[in-house]
Structure 1
Amino acid sequence: MRYFTKQQGQKEAVPVDLESLGQDRYRLTVNGKTFQVDALSVDQGTLSLLVDGQSYNVEFEENGDEIGTLVRGQVNRTDVADERKLRMRAAAGSFSVEGRQVILAPMPGKVVKVLVKVGEEVKEGQGLVVVEAMKMENELKSPKAGKVTEVFAKEGTAVENNAKLVVVE
């Protein structure tokens, strides 16, 4: 199966081919370089990987098309899409959200940082609030350009799944 991945800060998506070899073994090709991977699920959200003889423990969480990983103390956020999803995104690219947008907590966690204030003008994709969940920080971004009309998030407080954090109009 072919996927396209893009880490934060990357300009271009990278093609990744993943082929199952059976019994938790895979052939992974990234930018033309091939790796042999043995994968074992340790528990929910954690994999033990053996990549060309090197051992890695990887903690991960999925948030829509984005996958957050923790490998050897380093956190990475990667957008992952197959060819069909890329075509759908391109087709939807000309549409934008309108009206009042309420940004909700994607899962239970703790508000680490509030990046905006009431009355502030924001751009589409601008960070609004950072929530820590499952040992990973998630920056929640504005789905549209507009003005912040309400801020419910307070730094250091715990939030439940779907808690209101910020409103952009």
Structure 2
Amino acid sequence: MLYKIKIGDEKFEVEVGEVKEGLAGVTVNGEAYTVEVENYNSIFAPAAISLSTAATLLQASGSSSIVAPIPGIILDVPVQVGEKVEAGQTVVILEAMKMENNLVSSIDGIVREIRVQKGAHVKTGDLILIID
């Protein structure tokens, strides 16, 4: 679901993907993030998400899991298990709709697990990588 929101004087284009296992793929102005959804155990209806919830999701990108924000094909995983990564570093390159999307780490940490390989097809919400 795509939203255009304004926080203060800044405008954001926010696309919220499927919520799966308490995580959602969110794209903000073309940058992909993985966010943790608070109160996941309560009923969550993406069609009913409010602009204030979308703004909250913008600030909730501290998750250590990277999930696919949209369906696509894994072009590259430029990190390895055990590698130290920094917040903002590209950890996965995903092709979707003939565009390359850099999925970046939201935290400084170490890659604990990689669940995909180059060429793998992923769906929205699929777990790709875990960073501790």
Letter in 1 for 2:75: V
Aligned runs of 1:148-163 on 2, under 5 Å?
Answer: 148-163=111-126
Paired with 1:110 and 1:103, the residues of 2 have a C-alpha distance of 15
Number of equivalent positions: 88
Structure 2 gap ranges (5+): 1-5, 13-25, 32-54
User: Given the two structures, how large is their TM-score scaled by the length of structure 2?
Assistant: 0.57
Letter in 1 for 2:117: K
Contact 2:67 2:129 in 1 (8 A): yes
SS at match of 1:64: strand
Q: For residue 83 of structure 2, what is the aligned residue in structure 1?
A: 120
* Deviation at residue 125 of structure 1 after TM alignment: 0.6
Which structure carries more strand by proportion?
A: 1
Structure 1 gap ranges (5+): 6-62, 69-87
Letter in 1 for 2:119: G
Moved segments of 4+, more than 3 Å: 1-5
Cα distance per residue 1:138-163 (max 9 Å; x no partner)? 11000100000000120011111111
- Give percent identity, aligned residues only: 33
Cα distance per residue 1:86-141 (max 9 Å; x no partner)? xx89xx6xx983xx611000111000011100000000110000000111111100
Higher relative contact order (CA 8 A, sep 6+): 2
Contact 2:70 2:96 in 1 (8 A): yes
Cα distance per residue 1:32-67 (max 9 Å; x no partner)? xxxxxxxxxxxxxxxxxxxxxxxxxxxxxxx63214
Structure possessing the higher radius of gyration over alpha carbons: 1
User: Given the two structures, how large is their TM-score scaled by the length of structure 1?
Assistant: 0.45
**Alignment RMSD (CA, Å):** 2.9
